[in-house]
Amino acid sequence: MAKPGERRLQILQTLAGMLENPKNEKITTAALAARLECSEAALYRHFASKAQMFDGLIEFIETSLFGVINQIASEEQDGMRQVELILALLLNFAQRNRGMTKVLTGDALVNENERLQTRINSLLDKIEAALKQSLRVAATQEKLAANADFGGLANVLLCYVLGRWQQYAKSGFTREPAANWAQQWPMLYVACLSQSNA
């Protein structure tokens, strides 16, 4: 018999696994219960609602991403290298966690509680703020102009990541987000440097 914490984790892992289906079928608690070979009532012993299950997935994403982003910020001195590592993290996280990509893009949250999309929007805002901070660090190191538009640059970089995530989800997980990263990062880097003439 699984302990309550283990069962909760098993439910979340199964939900994430179901989200990896390339077809965008609505996931019901009945389908989730069937996959787990339990009753819907058994699910509700661990989670008050399906929205709470998605909250659990978002919490996992947030903890995973910001654990590494904070580590990058504290261990890597070079601001532009911080930006590169954060972007690579975001692309690789999605590639390794296909179901989570649908949560990050909001695809899995359609017809769910609006609060969940608000929470994802807040997560994306925090990622953008982390990128902006790294760009500011790069400016103090004279890699970027002190008067560069850090907010605009951070937004462009986040939009690049969101676009790669969307392509991955919409292609049935065939167009991997980290594909071409080695070629695309120098392009993004040059775009950032072009702000030096601002």
Q: Is residue 63 part of a domain?
A: yes
Domain that includes residue 124, residue range: 49-197
Contact assessment for residue 95 and residue 78, using Cβ atoms and an 8 Å cutoff: no
DSSP H helical ranges for the chain: 4-19, 29-36, 40-44, 50-75, 79-96, 98-104, 114-140, 150-170, 181-193
Q: Is residue 38 part of a domain?
A: no
Contact assessment for residue 135 and residue 73, using Cβ atoms and an 8 Å cutoff: no
Q: Is residue 27 part of a domain?
A: no
Residue 42 has pLDDT above 70, yes or no: yes
Q: Identify the pLDDT of residue 197.
A: 45
Q: Is residue 19 part of a domain?
A: no
Averaged pLDDT for residues 47-71: 95
Q: Is residue 87 part of a domain?
A: yes
Contact assessment for residue 66 and residue 126, using Cβ atoms and an 8 Å cutoff: yes
179: CATH: 1.10.357.10
Q: Is residue 13 part of a domain?
A: no
Quote the CA–CA distance of 101 and 85 in Å, as a whole number.
19
Quote the CA–CA distance of 70 and 186 in Å, as a whole number.
24
Q: Is residue 66 part of a domain?
A: yes
Bigger pLDDT: 136 vs 22: 136
Contact assessment for residue 58 and residue 72, using Cβ atoms and an 8 Å cutoff: no
How many structural domains does the chain have? 1
At residue 2, what is the residue type?
A
Angle at 130 between CA 124 and CA 131, to 5 degrees: 90
Q: Residue 27 is encoded by which pair of tokens?
A: 């996931």
Q: Is residue 89 part of a domain?
A: yes
Residue 2 has pLDDT above 80, yes or no: no
Residue 64 has pLDDT above 90, yes or no: yes
Q: Residue 107 is encoded by which pair of tokens?
A: 């695809």
> What pTM does this model have?
0.92
